[in-house]
Amino acid sequence: MEGVCMDVLMLSRLQFAVATYFHFLFVPLTLGLSILLAIMETRYVITKDIEYQSMAKFWGKIFLINFVIGIVTGITLEFQFGTNWSRYSRFVGDIFGSLLAIEATAAFFLESTFIAVWALGWKRLSPKAHALTIWLVAIASNLSALWIIIANSWMQHPVGFVIRNGRAELTDFLAVITQKFAILAVLHTLGAAYVLTGFFVMGISAYHILKKQHTSFFIKSFRLALTMAFTFSLFVVAEGHLHGADLAEKQPSKLAALESNWETTDHAPFYLFLIPDAEHEQNLLQFGRIPSLLSVIVFHDPNATMPGLKDFPKANRPPLGLTFFSFRFMVLLGFIFILFTLICWVKRNRLESSPGLLKLILYSIPLPYLACTLGWTVSEVGRQPWIVYGVMRTSHAVSPIATPQVALSILAFIVVYSFLGVVAFSLMAKHAKKGPEPLTPVIT
């Protein structure tokens, strides 16, 4: 029986990972592009420059393909808490369930209802009213993300509850929705989404500028996206930095794993390069030692004490290699984004004569997707072995169900999602390459 449960546990974890990673390939672009579209349409309303409307239409088509995949893959996540994590759902429904229900009523309804009005409303609505609908979609999508991240933050750092009647019961709703951990996580996630959107729009624009087609259209798009990408590349790294000291207090085992720091010590050194060795509780390889730097990075104080992995029993440590490397690469990418967007900013007025830069930006489109994926790995794998940090273990959360049906469903997820992913990205690429429609609308 124990063996059966282990299989269900591993398969359910894998299935949730597949479903979430896939979902989050589409969410960030929805969050950021909805705002860019709203800005384009607002500019059209203010300046009457038809090119902005044409921009909103062109990027809007890509947006709609992306949007629908985000919607439908989100539903499977909500329902998986019940299907695969029923013990978790019973234990935390009082708090976690209500946050999901609030997300649906307060945000998700709004975006799902007005997306169609926007998509079909170009002729039926005045430009102002039409711009308003995309603002509603943008605000609702971002609010939707806010509620989901608040729910996730409660799993990371549970507050405002008491264990009663064999479950976590809410005692302080405000504490749950206003805790610092949630605020930081929301800002980080939204910031990352805007970086991804910026790079996406810049990359496709670069393709057309390189080909010398629709140049004015795509230079405008590029500059708008660049402002977003540059601002939020700086923001995400600076804001991400603030998480360090917060983690030390709230998730010390995750922090120790992020840096592969074994001994709890003040004046903790930073290694430019290291390979962790979880089994022997040491680092297989480490060099580029900078004394006290780790304490300084995390706490802004060389005398501050950095938690070490050895403080935690082996059973309470997260998978080290995955957490560590995901974190390192995510941070590295964060700095690369600042560098790339800085160069673009410097050359923003002579983009056409910078083909090398444009090519670089075109091929950078996947990088923010990778960074987001690594970020969620840091967040979720780094939280292990807990599903609710310090309160409930992931292994105690899984449903009492038979292995074959989970094996079958994960297979279905992999096949269906791969297919959908290929189709969605191919259609987005096809439309992106085709470029904008002629300015005068075709009436048949």
Partner 1 sequence: MLETIWFILWGILWAIYFALDGFDLGLGTTMPLLAKNEADKRIMYNAQYPYWDGNEVWLITAGGVTFAAFPTTYAVLFSSFYSALMLILFALIFRAVSFEFRGKIDKPAWRMLWDIAMVMGSFLPALLLGVAFANIFRGIPIDGEGIYHGNILTLLNPYGLAGGILFLVLFCLHGSLWLTIKAEGELHQRATVLAKKLWLALVVIAGLFLLATGFFTQLYQNYLKSPILFIIPLATVASLLLVRVFIKKQAWWKAWSASSGTIVGVTLFGIVGLYPNLLPSSINPSYSLTIFNSASSPLTLKIMLGIALVFVPIIIIYQSWVYNFFKDKVREHDVAHEEHY
The answer to whether 319 and 269 are in contact (CB under 8 A) is no
284 near partner 1 (CB under 8 A): no
Angle (nearest 5°) at CA 360 between 358 and 361:
65
115 near partner 1 (CB under 8 A): yes
427 near partner 1 (CB under 8 A): yes
The site that binds partner 1 (CB under 8 A) totals a number of residues, namely 73
Both tokens of residue 3?
Answer: 């063996």
Is it true that the peptide bond before 385 is cis, omega within 30 degrees of 0?
A: yes
Both tokens of residue 92?
Answer: 């935390």
Compute CA distances 400 → 85, 88, 174, 395, whole Å: 9, 11, 33, 11
Q: Tell me, what amino acid is at 23? A: H
434 near partner 1 (CB under 8 A): no
Residues 238-267 that bind partner 1 (CB under 8 A): none
Q: Tell me, what amino acid is at 342? A: L
Closest separation in Å from C-beta 178 to partner 1: 14
**Binder among 27, 71, 202, 248 for partner 1 (CB under 8 A):** 71
For partner 1, which stretch binds (CB under 8 A), given 295-303, 310-318, 365-373, 424-432?
Answer: 424-432
Closest separation in Å from C-beta 202 to partner 1: 24
Residues 136-165 that bind partner 1 (CB under 8 A): 164
For partner 1, which stretch binds (CB under 8 A), given 21-29, 102-110, 281-289, 341-349?
Answer: 102-110
Choose between 352 and 437: whose C-beta lies nearer to partner 1: 437
Which DSSP helix (H) or strand (E) runs through 271? strand 270-277
Residues 51-70 that bind partner 1 (CB under 8 A): 64-65, 68-69
The answer to whether 157 and 250 are in contact (CB under 8 A) is yes
- Is residue 444 exposed (0-12), middle (13-18) or buried (19+ Cβ within 10 Å)? exposed
User: Is 205 in a helix, a strand, or coil?
Assistant: helix
Both tokens of residue 125?
Answer: 């609505």
**Binder among 5, 14, 117, 429 for partner 1 (CB under 8 A):** 117
105 near partner 1 (CB under 8 A): yes
**How far is it, in rounded angstroms, from Cα 229 to Cα 117?**
29
Q: Which residue has the tokens 């950078």?
A: 364
7 near partner 1 (CB under 8 A): no
**How far is it, in rounded angstroms, from Cα 44 to Cα 38?**
10
For partner 1, which stretch binds (CB under 8 A), given 84-92, 223-231, 338-346, 350-358?
Answer: 84-92
**Binder among 81, 218, 340, 386 for partner 1 (CB under 8 A):** 81
97 near partner 1 (CB under 8 A): yes
Binding mask 164-193 for partner 1 (x = CB under 8 A): x--x-xxx-x--------------------
**How far is it, in rounded angstroms, from Cα 300 to Cα 16?**
37
For partner 1, which stretch binds (CB under 8 A), given 121-129, 322-330, 337-345, 349-357?
Answer: 121-129
82 near partner 1 (CB under 8 A): yes
Choose between 98 and 227: whose C-beta lies nearer to partner 1: 98
Who contacts 217 (Cβ-Cβ below 8 Å, separation ≥6)? 51, 54, 55, 58, 208, 435, 436
Closest separation in Å from C-beta 122 to partner 1: 6
